Structure 1
C-alpha cells in the first residue's frame, strides 16, 4: 500500500486525505502536533540539518482537533510522535494509554514540573495567556486600558473583545480553566457568562484574536503573550497585558507512541527537540521555555514580559484541567458557545 504522508514542503503542511498507510518507512517518522505552522517549518528545517537520516512528516491540527484525531485512531495509531501538544490534553488517560515512557536526552536536566513522573511526556516549551490591546482603537473609542480579566466586564468593551473558542483552541481552554480555578466554579461560571456579553466572537485559533486586534477589528483579543510580542515587534499599535489575577499558561508536551514502528528514529527526533540547536530556535516563537538557562529576549522584555515569566503565572492544576476538560467544555458549549 502506498505511503500517503508527505512532509513539510515550501512552508506548507501536506497530508493526503486518504488513509495513512500502516507500512513503516525506514528513516521516516510521522509527527502529530498543534504547534504553529511558521515555527514548525523553522524547527523541521533545523532538524533536517541535525538528523538528516530521519525524514519528519508532520500533521498539524488545532489542539482540540488533534485530540479528536488521536482518539479516533486509537485502535490503529498512524503516528510515531506527539510533539508540542497541550499537556492538559496529553494527560487524558485515553491518550496516555497510547504513549510509551521515554526519557529523552536532556530531560534529566529539566524541572520536575516539566517531565512526567512516569516519563510518558516532557514539555520543552509552553505558552502564556495575555491580552492583545489595540492602543489606537482604545484612543478612537475613548476606552480604558484593561489590566485584568475583571476589567473586561466594563460595559464600554461590549463587542470589542475576541476570544479563542476553548473547544478547538488550547489557548481558549487555558483561559477559561484558569478563570475557573482562580475564582472557583460558581463565581467562575458566573464571570464567564457575564464576560460573554462583551465578547464579539469566539475564534478557532488561539493566535487569531491577537491578529484581529492588531488589525483594528477589535480593541482586545484574548490570546497568547507571544502573539502580542511578535505583533509589537512588527510595529502594530498593540500593547500586551498580562492579567493582574495571574496569567494562565499551558505546557506543550511531547511523547513517544507505543505503537510506533520506527521507535529508534522517533527517539532521535524527541532527543533533538531538547538539543541546543532546537533550544536556540524556541526563543523566536516562545515566551515560556523550560530548558535550563533560558531567559526572555529583549523584545519580549520591552513588551512587558518579566525576566522570570514564572513570576506572573497563575499556578495551574494541569491534572484537574485534564480530568475536568470534557465536563467544562460540555458546559461551555451548552451555556455560552456560539
Structure 2
C-alpha cells in the first residue's frame, strides 16, 4: 500500500470517527484486580485499540465469582480479566468460558495456561499468602514475632489477628484451601478452629488485613505479599512473615465469557493480556508473572517466599470450593464483617 493511499485511509477513518460513524465497541469486563491498577491497564490497551472501551465491574474475587455464576443463563460480562484461576476453573466446569488461544500464548510459562487446546483461560501473575505484622503495635502488646501458621494459634494473639473471609476474598480462599492441603483435611479444620479463637474479625477484602496492620488498627493481618510490600514501601511499620509450613498461592487469569456479543473485541483484549508489555505492568506489583524473563525484584518482597509456595492443587480447590465455603461459614461466619 503506497503512502498516499495510507494517508487517504487514515483521513477517512478520522473523518468517520469525528462524525461518530466509526463503530466503537464497549466491553464489560469483570475483574478483581486492585482498583488503582485498572486505569493504566485500560489506557495502555487503548493505545493500540482506541475503538474499544473497557467498562470495568470491580469487586473482590468471591463477589465476582458469585456474580458470574448467578448470571450463568444471562451473561452480562464479555471478559473476565484478573480473577483467581480457581474461580475460572469453576466457571470452565460450568461451560461459561469461550476457549481461545491468544496470539503469543506460546511465549508464556506453561503453568500459567489452561491445559486444554485451545485454552479456556490464560494466567497473568501469581499472588502469594503472607502475614503482615505491625512491629510497633506488637511491641506495645508484648507479642512475639510469629514464624509459622501454627504460631498464630498461641493464646497471646487472641483478638489481635484478622484475615479475609474466603467466601468473598480470593486471598481468604487460597489460605483456607492451602491449609487443608498443608495439614490435611482433619488437621486443617482443627487448625482453623484454633486460629478462630484468636481472630478479631474476618474482612471481605484480601488486602484489608495488611492495610489495617500497616495503619496500626490491628497487630497482625493475614494477607498477601504484594500488599505487604506496597504497605511497607509506603512507610508502614510492618514485617512480612513467610510461615515456615509453606504458603498458598493463586494466579490472576483472564478469559472470554461464553456468549459475548463482541467476540472479536474480546479476543483483542485477551491478546493484550498475554503480551510482554502487559506482564511488565503486572510486575509493578507482582514478583511472579506469566511472561518468562520479565519479572524484576519488587521492593520489600520477602525473601524465600517463592521457595515457600506449596505445590497448589488448583483442581482440588476448584472442585471442593462450595463444600469448603459451606463448612467454613458454619464454623466461623459469626465473626465475619457484614456485607
Question: Please, what TM-score do these two structures have when normalized by structure 1?
Answer: 0.88
Deviation at 1:94, TM superposition (A): 6.2
The answer for the alignment partner of 1:325 in structure 2 is 321
The answer for the alignment partner of 1:63 in structure 2 is 61
Deviation at 1:209, TM superposition (A): 0.5
Deviation at 1:29, TM superposition (A): 1.2
* Alignment partner of 1:336 is 2:332: yes
CA-to-aligned-CA distance 1:249-268 (integer Å, 9 cap, x gap): 01112111220111111111
Deviation at 1:110, TM superposition (A): 1.8
The answer for the alignment partner of 1:282 in structure 2 is 282
The answer for the alignment partner of 1:201 in structure 2 is 201
From the two aligned structures, give the one with the greater helix fraction: 2
Change (3 A) 1:281 1:93: closer
CA-to-aligned-CA distance 1:145-198 (integer Å, 9 cap, x gap): 111101101111111101001110010010011001110011000010000000
Contact 1:98 1:258 in 2 (8 A): yes
Q: 1:53 aligns with which of 47, 51, 56?
A: 51
Contact 2:30 2:58 in 1 (8 A): yes
User: Match of 2:201, SS?
Assistant: strand
Q: CA RMSD in A?
A: 1.5
User: Match of 1:92, SS?
Assistant: helix
Distance 1:336 1:298 in 2: 34
Deviation at 1:298, TM superposition (A): 4.9
Moved more, 182-191 or 35-44: 35-44
Deviation at 1:275, TM superposition (A): 1.9
Structure 1: gaps spanning 5 or more residues? 1-24
Contact 1:90 1:96 in 2 (8 A): no
The answer for the alignment partner of 1:89 in structure 2 is 87
CA-to-aligned-CA distance 1:100-132 (integer Å, 9 cap, x gap): 111112221223221111200111112111001
Distance 1:258 1:193 in 2: 40
The answer for the alignment partner of 1:133 in structure 2 is 133
Deviation at 1:276, TM superposition (A): 2.7
Contact 1:100 1:120 in 2 (8 A): yes
User: Match of 1:222, SS?
Assistant: strand
The answer for the alignment partner of 1:19 in structure 2 is none
Distance 1:58 1:277 in 2: 20
CA-to-aligned-CA distance 1:37-89 (integer Å, 9 cap, x gap): 01112211222223212111111121111111111111121111111111111
Distance 1:185 1:100 in 2: 34
Alignment map for 1:99-138 (pairs within 5 Å): 99-118=97-116, 119-138=119-138
Change (3 A) 1:317 1:252: same
Contact 2:24 2:53 in 1 (8 A): no
Deviation at 1:28, TM superposition (A): 1.9
User: Match of 2:152, SS?
Assistant: helix
Alignment map for 1:1-338 (pairs within 5 Å): 26-92=24-90, 96-118=94-116, 119-300=119-300, 303-306=301-304, 310-338=306-334
Contact 1:39 1:285 in 2 (8 A): no
Distance 2:199 2:144 in 1: 17
Contact 2:147 2:244 in 1 (8 A): yes
User: Match of 1:335, SS?
Assistant: helix
Question: Please, what TM-score do these two structures have when normalized by structure 2?
Answer: 0.88
Distance 2:86 2:28 in 1: 22
Change (3 A) 1:244 1:296: farther
Distance 1:231 1:326 in 2: 32
The answer for the alignment partner of 1:18 in structure 2 is none
Distance 2:75 2:93 in 1: 11
**Aligned structure 1 segments of 4 or more residues deviating by more than 3 angstroms:** 93-96
Contact 1:157 1:198 in 2 (8 A): yes
Deviation at 1:310, TM superposition (A): 3.5
Figure out how many residues of one structure are paired with residues of the other and give that number: 310
Deviation at 1:26, TM superposition (A): 4.3
